[in-house]
A and B are shown apart, each in its own frame.
Chain A
Amino acid sequence: MTAILTIESLKYNRNQRHILHDVQLTLAGGKVVGLLGANGAGKTTLMRLITGSAKGSGAITVSGSSTPVGRKQHVSFTDHLKGFAPNQKISRIEQFYDAVYPDFDSQRYQELAQFLDLDGQQKLAALSKGTREKLIIALTLSRQVDLYLLDEPFSGIDSMSRKKIINSIIRWLPDTATLLVSDHYVSEIAPILDEIVVVKDQTIVVHEETETIRDQKHMDIETYYEQLYEGGTDND
């Protein structure tokens, strides 16, 4: 299987603090990967480094492109829509995506929007947290790319929205594409994950297949993840 994402010796400092160092990661195509770690561990930063929003040192390659602008063509990231005015209508935001992303598939968006009950006439400011997240997911998955990065799509939303989002991932993620989803509650997404990647102590400490963890360690993913933190102090 060819690699969709390769990260080599990635380092990132900010305000003279080490945020990430010695990050190595290779993700194959056609996988759903959970990016786990405590709040502030650097999950969002890692995603921003992949998109090119954050500027670190080291090499990041997505589908053969290593320049930021090249990577942006192959990566679809859950943008929090800060660039839009609060009174902006959903349909207007969709038009923006359609205009600036050549790989945006309107047909797919319509299907996703219908599935997620999105109303194009609604204004951004009027959306509940769950609906706003659903809109972000619909926009992100409507691009036809190799790598999808979902940054904490489940934080603070109701369980019905969460289920719908999980189902739209299963239904609309292209066969050969890889999806990296960050979350700090593992159990809610564990059944849809092929692999987990854990960020801890400013680097990636674990990259493992979920079925291997269940099969060989006879542990559920949550317990396995928590145990990394319990043992952590001894390793330092």
Chain B
Amino acid sequence: MEFDDKVPIYLQIKQVIYHEMVTGKLKPGEQLPAVRQLALDLTVNVNTVQRALGTMIAEGFLVSQRGRGNFVTEDQPKIATLKQQLVQEQLATVYHELHALNLSDDEIITSVQRYVQQRGNQDDSHLND
């Protein structure tokens, strides 16, 4: 796993795990690997993993069971809000970048629509190959 060394690594670890929770790679109620195993999988420091998990537990996305390990919350709506949150973050970036190119809100919407359409056609033609 490659990390951006300019951004705190514990934040990036959180992103990785959130992503897996939202996409369903980590199911609600599923147990996470042990801290050391996660550190090995991601090639990062054990303390950094601990810190990432700690904040995720505080936020309520993970549940820590004493002596048994860490589990993904079974609170489905909670995970739905997480998905919402991640989508918001991505959109915020795109919106910010496009705005910086002097696009109006309407122009942004139409360009996104056009892009999605083009992209859809492209993928279809790829499928037909």
Contact = CB atoms under 8 A, between A and B. Distances in A.
Does A touch B (CB under 8 Å) in the complex? Answer: yes
B5 A211 contact: no
Interface in B1-55: 3-10, 36, 39-40, 42-48, 51
A218 B3 CA distance: 14
A49 interface: no
Main SS at interface, chain A: helix
Given A170-B36, A171-B36, A191-B3, A214 B9 contact: yes
B103 to A, nearest CB: 27
A187 interface: yes
Contacts of A220: 4-6
B5 A221 contact: yes
A170 B43 contact: yes
A31 B42 CA distance: 18
A194 B45 CA distance: 7
Interface string B73-98: 00000000000000000000000000
B10 A192 contact: no
B6 A191 contact: no
Interface residue tally of chain B, by bracket? 10 to 19
A94 to B, nearest CB: 24
Contacts, number: 55
B48 A211 contact: yes
B8 A166 contact: no
Contacts of A166: 43
Contacts of A163: 43
A221 B47 CA distance: 17
Nearest to A30: B47
B7 A214 contact: yes
A69 B128 CA distance: 74
A228 interface: no
A30 B3 CA distance: 23
A95 interface: no
- The residue among B3, B5, B42 with the most chain A CB atoms within 10 A of its own CB is B5
A191 B43 contact: yes
Contact of B40 (A167, A175, A190, A215): A167
B6 A192 contact: no
Contacts of B46: 170, 173, 175
A157 to B, nearest CB: 17
A190 B48 CA distance: 12
Given A170-B39, A171-B40, A193 B6 contact: no
Contacts of A30: 47
Given A30-B47, A211-B48, A191 B40 contact: no
Nearest to B9: A191
A79 interface: no
A32 B39 CA distance: 13
Contacts of B7: 214
A199 to B, nearest CB: 21
Interface string A204-236: 000000110011001111100000000000000
A94 B6 CA distance: 41
Interface of A: 30-32, 163, 166-167, 170-171, 173, 175, 187, 190-194, 210-211, 214-215, 218-222
Given A171-B40, A211-B48, A220-B5, 5 more contacts: A30-B47, A32-B45, A170-B45, A211-B9, A214-B5
25 contacts: A30-B47, A32-B47, A163-B43, A166-B43, A167-B40, A170-B43, A171-B40, A187-B5, A190-B5, A191-B3, A191-B5, A191-B43, A192-B44, A194-B45, A194-B47, A211-B8, A211-B10, A214-B5, A214-B8, A215-B8, A218-B6, A219-B6, A220-B4, A220-B6, A222-B5
